[in-house]
Structure 1
Amino acid sequence: MRIIRTPASIYLFSISVIGLLFFTFLIKIPQHSDWIVMFALSGSILLLNYYTILIPPKGNSLSMDSSIYLASIFLFGLHSTLLVLLIYSVIFAIIQRKIAWWKHLFNFSVYSLMIICSYYAFILIDGFTGPISVKNIIPYLLSICTYFSLNLLLVGVYFVLEATENIINFFKEILKETTATYISTLVLSLVLVILMKPNHLFGLSLFTVIAFLLSLAFKQHFNLFKEISEKANKDFLTGLNNHGYFKEILEKEVTAAKENEQPLCVVIMDIDDFKKYNDLYGHIQGDHLLQEFGSLLKASSDAANYIVARYGGEEFSIIMPNTDRKTAYSFMNELRKKVNDTYYKGVEGLPYGCLSFSSGIAECEKETYSVSELLNKADQAMYAAKNQGKNLVQLYNGHSEYSVQRSLSLEKELEEAEFQLKIFLSKDVYTYRHSKRVYQYAVDFSRMLNLSVDERKTLILGALVHDIGKIEIPRDILNKKGSLDPHEWEFMKKHVTYGKDIISTNKKLEDLIPLVELHHERYDGNGYPYGLAGKSIPKLARILCVIDSFDAMTTERPYQKTKTFQEAIAELRHCSGKQFDPQFIEPFIAMIKEFETSGDEQHKEVAASIVN
């Protein structure tokens, strides 16, 4: 039999050997030890390891075994505590024979190291065993800190080596979830020391009974909490996740997918002709159809480890972690065929003579700005499937018929956006003119790039309103001659946040939010407001950053001299890969040079036309 040597297995072996060696060298049978108390302590650990205290909301458990080990250290010292550990471990290994022997050994070694190190930390600063003493407060604290720090380190390293956890995320999560537990354990260990002072067995028995009753009470409390939470997170009709909980899960899954660079897809689907079905058979029969469809959807999704929810009405949604668009498309087509082939009462009255749905799929990318953007894309693709005749699965690509229609509807908002922008005329003529020039650059540059219709329209509209947040910046800061002081600069930087707030009031313009809020982010991560870097900045915001900066460099500003086109081009190249995404620099420069060589005066005329 070949032994596979992985970093995790080598680590397990090393810790097991070290723990056994330390235990072997340090264990001594204490003279005049009270064996009844030793066995009683071991028995309490066995019982309380089985009856743990469940803590909402995630069901983390608080075991009292560490309280007993620490109390034993404080009362009886190292040798008696190691003896208690040995008795417990032998009995537990016999009871739990199905657990692999190396897991028992590793667990025993970890506890040995924790007990030994916490004991020596205790006596290092003159802690003394016996009844509880105020003089021992600092040794108590140092001992428990050592105990749990070692616990986090020894267990955490194993999970990191197994590559099941990111090291930073693991320690962040464990510290967040266990800090209160660790403090409770310290308090309980001191409570046990106090209870055992007059009579060891009586105090230990009382502590064990209290812990047992607490375990039962917290279990009931946790089950009630879980039941209420599930009701709050579930759709009452289908039993699937509801819309609110779906979005909460999606936020977490999108964050995890970006951090771990894993694919993720989202699906929105709509049952075709459901209104007609309701009209034919009534809402009660319609509810039955929704329930049956939801059950089929859940069974198929569970088999693939996907997360399904009722999005609203006859719409449903699926989160597909670790799934690329090709796999998602294949899964949804198989599901569509399965639904077509499954008979539901009354579906023969529908146009296709069977139950069908239309669905849209959107894949999360590193530059995806928000969950809303992702859902919006899936929604667009779903409506494209509807417009193409229904009973279809559509991948979002930005070129769909619905996307074009939606872009045209966005174009209708241009007049409204420009009207809002004209407010600048009464406050800052420069910003208004600058925005109009950036808008014209965006029109021309978007023709050169391989952008979808939707992306082109969004870039153009975003260019027009990208600085609208400067409405909220005081006039004396906007028009100040010379450099801004640090306080004024911090205030000026808030214009992106103000702009986001203004745009957010119009739902039809929500696609423009990333451009308004993020056009001052830098490719190297040194921009604002969030310090995003690389492709975590949405593509259109990276494009707008190039256009905006070029115009800012080549036009007169209160606090900056104008650069020539050649000087600005040199600056773009110098900052390529730093401030700007390199893939857009040379195409933009090529466009500018084309204007120069062709004698195009269009951009110069833009500013003049505004004044008139």
Structure 2
Amino acid sequence: MPYLASLLVYFGVNVALILIFFLSVGQIFKGALELGVLKEACISYSITLLLSLVLAILLWEAKYFGLFVLIILVTLLSFVFKKFLQLYQLTSDRANKDHLTGLYNHGFFKETLKEQFADCKKLKKPLTLAFLDLDDFKKYNDRNGHLQGDKLLAFFGARLKKAVEGTNFIVARYGGEEFAILMPSTTKEDAYAFLNRLRKNVNDTYFEGVEHIPYRCLSFSCGIAEMEKDMYESDELIHRADQALYYAKAQGKNNVQIYDKHNMCFDEIKFKQDLEALEQQVKFFLSKDVYTYRHSKRVFKYALEFGSRLNELTDHERQTLILGALIHDIGKIEVPRDILNKQGKLEKHEWEIVKKHVTWGKELIAAEKRFDDLLPLIELHHERYDGKGYPYGLKGEEIPKLARILCIIDSFDAMTTERPYQRTKTFDEAVEEINRCAGTQFDPIYAAKFIEFVKERYLPLAKVQQLNEI
């Protein structure tokens, strides 16, 4: 009995340590169960305990023979466990590594980025992402053949792997001739210095056939983006690094560019095309909920006028705010008609359905990559400055700037919209409400600016209209 008791204590302590390990690296107990870790641990320990009991009996009954059997079994078990670990590592590598370059693959990199993004955001540490694209790789392939092209990819992957040795950087083949480097606890300036040195080093490294492509040397274009405090998911960082990469290629290739919102040029023709495309989607509301259609158009108009007064916004941000305002409620297309047009207060379960429109809207618009910049506005325009909004309960500057601005515009129009069976606030009352909720529901800085805008642009017109009605 003392022997069994000691084994159970040993078993309990080891299982507890395993669980503490999973919790310490951010894995939940449910995840451990799903991976079968606890199940495998129980089976392995049970076998070990039974084996040790047998060995204890052998040692008690036949000392030297029992000791001999113990040594043989321990030796065999050590080989078995070593082989098991090698097989596990091989399987893990096949799942997480790119077979051509030996670097991490796209899927593993995306998962790691999400984890690092959450950790660095929580610890308020910098996180920088870089995308690298081999210049003129298609031309190299066309001239030298795909087999030689694969050798070039493998060669470049090895150079990247060697370059990050001794750092905590994570390098992966993102797809085709595109590579990614994730740099935790690194600012964009330090990342730029590192990658520019790497670029020059690569330029000076010969590989067979590169003398026939435009730069006559091995080169890459690179885009860098650093996580900002108003980002809420890792896809935003990917999008910015991708934009910076395209900007680098537009600058003539073989250079490194840091994402700068001022470099994201305003394209009037593209803006008009995007506006027309989104307008067609909003028109679906005409047959289902004319109030949502008219609300979207008014919010669009307010965003257009208010955005033009915000000098701190770039042209690209102003364009994003305007388009996001037009399409922000597109997810309500998925909400049942009887809930959208219900007269009176919604039931709890009905309200929960309505709240899902932000997620549904994001999914609808995410289908077209060109509208990626609009996704935060669609999904987060009901977040509150005090953290009591939905869908995530983000707080303060965790909410992207444009989403904070849209929240104010959206709420103002909702308060002043004329609907049957619902009291409508006057512009004066709506301004008072925004002022009262500044710092709780609304960003206090932009709330003050919006109030000033309404007072200058709309209150005089509202007063004239009231006098005419009298």
Could you tell me how far 1:273 is from its partner in structure 2? 2.3
CA distance in structure 2 between the aligned counterparts of 1:370 and 1:426, rounded to whole angstroms = 34
Equivalent residue number for residue 514 of structure 1: 376
Equivalent residue number for residue 364 of structure 2: 502
Equivalent residue number for residue 65 of structure 1: none
Could you tell me how far 1:559 is from its partner in structure 2? 6.1
Equivalent residue number for residue 456 of structure 1: 318
Q: Which moved more, 1:558-567 or 1:324-333?
A: 558-567
CA distance in structure 2 between the aligned counterparts of 1:427 and 1:322, rounded to whole angstroms = 49
Alignment of 1:493 with 2:388, yes or no, is: no
Equivalent residue number for residue 39 of structure 1: none
CA distance in structure 1 between the aligned counterparts of 2:61 and 2:405, rounded to whole angstroms = 74
Q: Could you tell me which amino acid in structure 1 is paired with residue 427 of structure 2?
A: F
* Contact 2:435–2:451 (8 Å) recurs in 1: no
CA distance in structure 2 between the aligned counterparts of 1:393 and 1:466, rounded to whole angstroms = 35
Could you tell me how far 1:305 is from its partner in structure 2? 2.7
Q: Could you tell me which amino acid in structure 1 is paired with residue 295 of structure 2?
A: H
What's the TM-score, normalizing by structure 2?
Answer: 0.85
| Match of residue 234, structure 2, among 371, 379, 387 | 371
CA distance in structure 2 between the aligned counterparts of 1:248 and 1:436, rounded to whole angstroms = 38
Gaps of 5+ in 2: none
Alignment of 1:201 with 2:60, yes or no, is: yes
Equivalent residue number for residue 268 of structure 1: 131
Equivalent residue number for residue 30 of structure 1: none
| Match of residue 284, structure 2, among 423, 435, 440 | 423
Equivalent residue number for residue 453 of structure 2: 591
**3-state SS of 2:283 partner:** helix
CA distance in structure 2 between the aligned counterparts of 1:336 and 1:600, rounded to whole angstroms = 60
CA distance in structure 1 between the aligned counterparts of 2:74 and 2:297, rounded to whole angstroms = 71
* Contact 2:132–2:179 (8 Å) recurs in 1: yes
Equivalent residue number for residue 337 of structure 1: 200
**3-state SS of 2:384 partner:** coil
Alignment of 1:470 with 2:332, yes or no, is: yes
Could you tell me how far 1:262 is from its partner in structure 2? 1.2
CA distance in structure 2 between the aligned counterparts of 1:281 and 1:574, rounded to whole angstroms = 68
* Contact 1:411–1:457 (8 Å) recurs in 2: no
**3-state SS of 2:252 partner:** coil
| Match of residue 151, structure 2, among 288, 295, 298 | 288
Q: Give the direction of change, closer, same or farther, for the CA distance of 1:332–1:600 in structure 2 (3 Å limit).
A: farther
* Contact 2:97–2:103 (8 Å) recurs in 1: yes
Q: Could you tell me which amino acid in structure 2 is paired with residue 432 of structure 1?
A: Y
What's the TM-score, normalizing by structure 1?
Answer: 0.66
CA distance in structure 2 between the aligned counterparts of 1:201 and 1:539, rounded to whole angstroms = 74
Q: How does 1:161-200 map to 2 (within 5 A)?
A: 169=24, 179-180=38-39, 183-184=42-43, 187=46, 191=50, 195=54
Equivalent residue number for residue 105 of structure 2: 242
**3-state SS of 1:529 partner:** coil
Q: Give the direction of change, closer, same or farther, for the CA distance of 1:214–1:589 in structure 2 (3 Å limit).
A: farther
Equivalent residue number for residue 398 of structure 2: 536
Equivalent residue number for residue 188 of structure 2: 325
Aligned-residue Cα RMSD (Å) equals: 3.4
Could you tell me how far 1:323 is from its partner in structure 2? 0.7
Q: Which moved more, 1:184-193 or 1:375-384?
A: 184-193
Equivalent residue number for residue 427 of structure 2: 565
Alignment of 1:302 with 2:165, yes or no, is: yes
Identity of aligned residues (%): 51
Q: Give the direction of change, closer, same or farther, for the CA distance of 1:175–1:210 in structure 2 (3 Å limit).
A: farther
Q: Could you tell me which amino acid in structure 1 is paired with residue 124 of structure 2?
A: E
Q: 1:543-571, CA deviations, whole angstroms, 9 ceiling, x for partnerless residues?
A: 21111111111112456421122222222
CA distance in structure 2 between the aligned counterparts of 1:145 and 1:228, rounded to whole angstroms = 28
CA distance in structure 2 between the aligned counterparts of 1:283 and 1:181, rounded to whole angstroms = 44
CA distance in structure 1 between the aligned counterparts of 2:438 and 2:374, rounded to whole angstroms = 25
Number of residue pairs the alignment of both structures matches: 455
Could you tell me how far 1:382 is from its partner in structure 2? 1.1
| Match of residue 261, structure 2, among 388, 398, 405 | 398
* Contact 2:427–2:459 (8 Å) recurs in 1: no
| Match of residue 384, structure 1, among 229, 243, 247 | 247
Q: Give the direction of change, closer, same or farther, for the CA distance of 1:211–1:512 in structure 2 (3 Å limit).
A: farther
Q: Give the direction of change, closer, same or farther, for the CA distance of 1:531–1:214 in structure 2 (3 Å limit).
A: farther
* Contact 1:196–1:202 (8 Å) recurs in 2: no
Could you tell me how far 1:437 is from its partner in structure 2? 0.7
Q: Could you tell me which amino acid in structure 2 is paired with residue 382 of structure 1?
A: L
Equivalent residue number for residue 37 of structure 1: none
CA distance in structure 2 between the aligned counterparts of 1:567 and 1:577, rounded to whole angstroms = 18
Larger Rg: 1
Equivalent residue number for residue 294 of structure 2: 433
Could you tell me how far 1:585 is from its partner in structure 2? 1.1
CA distance in structure 2 between the aligned counterparts of 1:379 and 1:228, rounded to whole angstroms = 31
Could you tell me how far 1:368 is from its partner in structure 2? 2.2
**3-state SS of 2:128 partner:** strand
* Contact 1:343–1:354 (8 Å) recurs in 2: yes
Q: Which moved more, 1:544-553 or 1:296-305?
A: 296-305
Could you tell me how far 1:263 is from its partner in structure 2? 0.8
* Contact 1:479–1:558 (8 Å) recurs in 2: no
CA distance in structure 2 between the aligned counterparts of 1:364 and 1:194, rounded to whole angstroms = 56
Q: 1:584-607, CA deviations, whole angstroms, 9 ceiling, x for partnerless residues?
A: 211111211120366499xx9xxx
Q: Could you tell me which amino acid in structure 2 is paired with residue 315 of structure 1?
A: E
Equivalent residue number for residue 350 of structure 1: 213
CA distance in structure 1 between the aligned counterparts of 2:209 and 2:361, rounded to whole angstroms = 52
**3-state SS of 2:173 partner:** strand
Q: Give the direction of change, closer, same or farther, for the CA distance of 1:600–1:294 in structure 2 (3 Å limit).
A: farther
* Contact 2:307–2:321 (8 Å) recurs in 1: yes
Could you tell me how far 1:388 is from its partner in structure 2? 1.4
* Contact 2:221–2:248 (8 Å) recurs in 1: yes
CA distance in structure 2 between the aligned counterparts of 1:467 and 1:151, rounded to whole angstroms = 48
* Contact 1:268–1:315 (8 Å) recurs in 2: yes
